[in-house]
Amino acid sequence: MLTITIAIIVTILDQLVKWLVQTEMDLGETIPIIPHIFHLTYIHNPGAAFGILPHQEWFFLAIVVILFAAYFFMRKKIPQKPIYFPASVAMLLGGALGNAIDRVRYGSVVDFFDFRIWPIFNVADIFICVGVALIVFYFWRHN
Per-residue pLDDT for 5 more than 80? yes
Beta strands across the sheet bearing 30-34: 30-34, 38-45, 109-114
pTM comes to 0.93
Residue 48: its pLDDT value, please?
Answer: 85
Tens-digit pLDDT profile for residues 70-129: 999 999 999 889 999 999 999 999 999 999 999 999 999 999 999 999 999 999 999 999
The three-class DSSP label of residue 79 is coil
Active site residue 125: yes
The catalytically annotated residue of 14, 102, 111, 114 is 111
The catalytically annotated residue of 14, 102, 114, 125 is 125
Active site residue 111: yes
